[in-house]
Each structure stands twice: as structure tokens, then as C-alpha cells.
Amino acid sequence: MAKILRVNMTDRTVKYEDVPEKYRLMGGRWLTSSIIADEVDPTCHPLGPNNKVVFAPGIVTGTNAPTSGRISVGGKSPLTGGIKESNAGTGFSQIIARLGIKAIVVEGYPQDDGWWGLHITKDGAEFFPADEYTGKGLYEVYPQLFERFGKKVGITSIGIAGERLYANSGVCFNDIDNRPSRYSGRGGLGAVMGSKHLKFIVADGQGAPGVEIANKDLFNTGRKKLTKALKSHDITKPGGGLNTYGTAILVNIINEAGGLPTRNFREGRFEGAAKTSGEAMAELCKTRGGVGRMGHPCHPGCIIQCSNVIPNPDGSELVSVIEYETTWAFGANCGIDDLDVIGKLTWMANDYGMDTIEAGGTIAVAMEAGLAEFGDGKRAIELMEEIGKGTPLGHILGQGAATTGKVFGVVRVPGVKGQNMPAYEPRAIKGIGMTYAISTMGADHTSGYTIAPEILGVSGKVDQFDKNKAELVRNFQYSTAFIDSSGHCLFIAFAILDIAEGFEGLIEECSGVVGTNWTADDVMAIGKEILNKERAFNAAAGFTKADDRLPEFMKYEKLPPHNVVWDVPDETLDAVFED
């Protein structure tokens, strides 16, 4: 029987609790947002004693379902001031699930200056002093932890950004090769973990009982359907787009569509885009050789395998992984077209424990403020070094793009609810702009990836400039919330949107694990329930319709090459959830 592990940092105690009936069917985002909504005061200070951090593997995580190694991390965000769920793909999630842990709830407040780690095994959980691991980069800390606890454990940790309570601080997890490179990056939840002086959690799955599956026949039927769909869709199949070129296959596609934010959202096309693309990364791996590779899995059991290992000129490892959002954030958004510089900046963000989207967005805003010239990779690295050193400027930059913009008087700060926008220009792609505006998480493309139909033509092509997308945006947000709860990677959406049997498989898998017979209607109902809880939390925290808006400059600055502005009426945004 699965349990909830409650970790109290006030008295450093742990206890395993029975799962309340109301949480029995839940996993991932559904569970993290439910626990936060039930147990955290929406008006609390995000770094105070009344906030909590919740870790929850998805419904099918820990089983042999394909591409299902996701874990959700939830809390009240120091960056947005609202509810936050951020998830990652990692073997840590699979170990936690197989240990019979439905969620880890970290609460309380430290009574001294000491730092602590938590070691979880099949026999229980135990605290360890962790002061010796603080003040160091994660590329130094992770090998030390694996040396101490064994190579087969899973690890989640914060970096120096989380220790310093920066609003841009993520929660790091190990990848399949034990690198500190998989992140629940967005929203600053690393700072919440840091406020509780919990440096790391180590999970050892030796002797773990495994995940209980209520209806194995139904689960296996669904698993086979979804696997078949993933292996046959052009985007997700072995040798397909994501496997061959990684997520950065999108660079040239979005650039051609005029929606690649360039030089802090001044333009929609970047002249150096091809040099920072997935195709360029694949060529780099080929010509430099060594450890470089595309088609790298982030965790065991992934069919898509869209990660990469980028080599230095001598074939040694520069960094893993450079995702689409990352190559854009440090690339086009900063006017930089050098993959070696982008790789170095990515490595630094990983080492410090930071979200790359927010970090790149912050550097771009700093460039806007005159602290560097757009395109100056050397100066961009120096700005990141300021963060690592913890200088006064570094402390400002570590708080994210919105704070940096306020300090330096920058008008063009492309964010919503305090969170920097990702790699899609909302003026040129209206549906994703609507998603940014009304998402409970702040500007977040993964809240509802309408890029699939708007640009890629998945599930049917939709005009990227069409402003009447309330139903599309709503349905994508509801269905995405369910996927975030399932434990599957969001990229299964490409296959299940185009292949009906794949969608059936997803529903049957999840139903088989928890012992239900969900339908497509249930998927949307569950998604709606999740969004309603999150929206209610944010409303209680003080959010209003005025927070569901894009920055003012986008309404009057025309974006080249299409010379478009943000012209979706506020009434359309307000109507998305009025169903």
C-alpha cells in the first residue's frame, strides 16, 4: 500500500502516512496541486515556515509504461507568488514510486543554521548532516553523493541558487548517467527547499516492492497501444524528429514561422538561428566525435530519447543537455549564435541549480539595460559568473528577469506573473500567447502546448495568427494537466493527438494502475478539476484578471518580420475558463 512520506524540518522527523481516500487516484501535478491547495495558506510568504514542497511521481511512474519517468514538484512559487508545479524526467521518480511513496511532503522550518540531507530506502528515511555539500557546484556535489550512497540511487538536490534563496532556483535531479541535468526548473521551488535547509534527498530502490497495479490486463493493453503509437509517429518514433535532432529541431521551424523571440523579444527571426539548432548540434556531435551524441534518454524506459550530449572541440563533454528552450534562451534571445558559449552557459546554470529559461531571459533583460551588448557571449558568461560568486549584481540577476527589469528600469520585460516567457513569440503565435496569459503557472508553454497545431500541424493545422482560440487553449490546458499527472512526458501528446489508439492507451494505462475505467471525458474533467484548484489558490493569493495579461509593450511594439502586435482582446482571455 502506497504511503505519503511527511518530512518535518522543524524537528527533523519523518513519518509515513496512509494515503487519504481523496488522494487515492492521484499522481503528479494532480496530487501536488491538491496537497498545496489543501495544506498551504495562499497568502503565506513563499520562503516562510508555512509553505511546503511536495514531490509526487505520476500515476504510472515506476511501471514499465513507456516514457513515464516524470515527477512533479509543487509549492507556492517565490517567483510568481502563486501555485507552482514543475516536473522533470528522472530515474529518481521511478525509484520513489517503486518504494511505495505516493508523495513526499517537506514542511516546517529549520531551528538552526545546519543543512540536511534525507536518505530513503525500503526500510525508512533518515536525516544526514549536509553542511559539507553546501556552497559547491552540483557537478562537484553529485559525484560525492553517488560515491557515498552508491551509483544506483536517485538524487534530487538544490544548488547554490537554492541555498541563497534566489527566485530563479530549480530542483535538480540526476539523468540516466547520474549527471545533475534534469530539472524541475521553473518557479523558484529550489528556494523553498533551501528555506527549509534541505539540501538533497537520496532514494535507494534496492529491494523496493514496486508499484501496485490494480488491473494488470487493462494496464498492459493500454501500455501496448501507447507504445505502438509512440513508435509510429514521425515526431516521437526511433529515428524520428525528436530522437534525431532533439527538441532543438524546433529552432529553424519556429524561426521560419517568425515566432523565435530574438534579442529580448525585439524580433521574431534570428539570423543566427541555424547555428544554434538541433541540426547544428547533430553535426557538432558528428564532426567532433568523442562523447557527443543525439538520441540520449533522460531516464530508463524512454522511447523518444530526445536528450543529447554536446562535445567540446576535443570530443570531451561540454554539457548535457541543451534543449530547445535553453539554446533559445542563451542563444537567439541574447543574440548569441555560438553553441560553445550556449553550452557553457547551460553548464553554469546546471551547476548553480538554475532554470535556463529564466537565466537566459534575465541576461537578455540585463543586455536591454546596457550591462552587455546583445551577441556578446563573453560578457554573458561574466554575468552568469556574478551569480555564481554571489556578488550584489549576482544577487539581483539570481532573482530573475522581472526583478532585474525593475532594478534597472527596463520596460521590455517579457513575462507573466513574474515568470519570463519561453521560446515562442506570443504576438506571432496567438494561442501560445493566450496560454502564457492565463496559465496558473505564469508564462509557461507546457501549460498547454498549442504550438502542436499552430505550427507543427499536429491534430490539424490552425492559423497561428487566429485570435479566436479560447476553446483550443482551454482544452489543451485541461488535457495537459492530466498528462502532467500521469507520469508521462508531455511529448506523448504528439502521438496521442494524431493516433486515437494512443490516447486510448494512455487512459487504459492510468485506469489499470488505480483501478478505474476512465474515459476521454474523465481526462478533461480531471484536468478541469486541477485547473480549478490552482486558479482558486491564486485568487486567494491575490491574483485577479489583471494578472492574466501579457506585457503592455507587446500591444504597441510591432514584431518583425510579420509586423504584428498582441491584439487578443482581454474579453477573449477572460472567457477561456468560462465554460
The answer to whether residues 451 and 571 belong to one domain is yes
**Structural domain includes residue 64:** yes
Coil, helix or strand for 518? coil
Percent of the chain predicted with pLDDT > 70: 100
The domain of 85 spans 3-203
The answer to whether residues 168 and 268 belong to one domain is no
pLDDT category of residue 430 using cuts at 50, 70 and 90: very high
Check: CB of residue 262 under 8 Å from CB of residue 268: yes
Say yes or no to pLDDT of 300 above 80: yes
CA distance 255 to 257: 5
Helices and strands (H and E) in the chain: how many: 23, 17
CA distance 234 to 257: 20
Q: Mean pLDDT across the stretch 193-198?
A: 99
Alpha helices in 118-159 (DSSP H): 138-149
Q: Report which residue type is found at 73.
A: V
Closest C-alpha to 520, from 482, 472, 490 = 482
pLDDT category of residue 1 using cuts at 50, 70 and 90: confident
Q: What are phi and psi of 181, to 5 degrees?
A: -135, 0
Return the biggest CA–CA distance within the chain. Answer: 62
The answer to whether residues 149 and 239 belong to one domain is no
The answer to whether residues 241 and 168 belong to one domain is no
Q: Is 316 exposed, middle or buried (0-12, 13-18, 19+ CB in 10 A)?
A: exposed
**Structural domain includes residue 441:** yes
CA distance 215 to 204: 27
**Structural domain includes residue 226:** no
List pLDDT tens digits, range 335-372. 999 999 999 999 999 999 999 999 999 999 999 999 99
Check: CB of residue 520 under 8 Å from CB of residue 503: yes
Total count of domains within the chain? 2
CA 193 to chain centre: 16
**Structural domain includes residue 253:** yes
Q: What is the pLDDT of residue 578?
A: 85
Q: What are phi and psi of 40, to 5 degrees?
A: -110, 130
The answer to whether residues 258 and 165 belong to one domain is no
Q: What is the mean pLDDT of the chain?
A: 98
The answer to whether residues 285 and 378 belong to one domain is yes
Q: Which of 203, 220, 255 is the last residue of a domain?
A: 203
Percent of the chain predicted with pLDDT > 90: 99
How would you classify the pairing of strands 101-107 and 154-157?
A: unpaired
CA distance 62 to 98: 5
CA distance 330 to 132: 32
The answer to whether residues 151 and 298 belong to one domain is no
HSE-CB for 125 with a 13 A CA cutoff:
26
SS (H, E, C) 234-278: CCCCCCCHHHHHCHHHHHHHHHHCCCCCECCCCECCCCCHHHHCH
Q: Mean pLDDT across the stretch 269-278?
A: 99
Sign of CA dihedral 9, 14, 18, 24: positive
Q: What's the CATH number where 407 sits?
A: 1.10.569.10
Q: Which three cell numbers stand for residue 491?
A: 511529448
**Structural domain includes residue 542:** yes
Alpha helices in 99-137 (DSSP H): none
Q: Which residues pair with 128 in a beta bridge?
A: 117
Strands of the sheet with 198-203, listed across from one edge: 124-129, 116-121, 198-203, 154-157, 171-174, 180-184
Burial string for 377-413 (b: 16+ CB within 10 Å, else e) reads bebbbebbebbbebeebbbbbbbbbbbbbeeeebebb
CA distance 435 to 474: 8
The answer to whether residues 417 and 484 belong to one domain is yes
Say yes or no to pLDDT of 428 above 70: yes
Coil, helix or strand for 557? coil
Say yes or no to pLDDT of 182 above 90: yes
List pLDDT tens digits, range 313-334. 999 999 999 999 999 999 999 9
**Structural domain includes residue 506:** no
Closest C-alpha to 348, from 281, 340, 154 = 340
CA distance 244 to 279: 9
Q: Mean pLDDT across the stretch 391-407?
A: 99
CA distance 230 to 65: 12
Q: What is the pLDDT of residue 572?
A: 97
Enumerate residues 6+ apart whose C-beta is below 8 A from 138: 157, 159, 172, 180, 350, 351, 352, 353
Q: Mean pLDDT across the stretch 409-435?
A: 99
Neighbours of 313 (CB within 10 A): 11
The answer to whether residues 162 and 243 belong to one domain is no
**Structural domain includes residue 222:** no
CA distance 557 to 44: 37
Neighbours of 99 (CB within 10 A): 26
Closest C-alpha to 115, from 189, 199, 202 = 199
Q: Which of 161, 187, 203 is the last residue of a domain?
A: 203
The answer to whether residues 247 and 356 belong to one domain is yes
Q: What's the CATH number where 189 sits?
A: 3.60.9.10
Say yes or no to pLDDT of 509 above 90: yes
Q: What is the pLDDT of residue 579?
A: 64
The answer to whether residues 554 and 451 belong to one domain is yes
* The residue count for the chain: 579
pLDDT category of residue 221 using cuts at 50, 70 and 90: very high
CA distance 236 to 570: 36
The answer to whether residues 271 and 321 belong to one domain is yes
**Structural domain includes residue 185:** yes
CA distance 350 to 179: 10
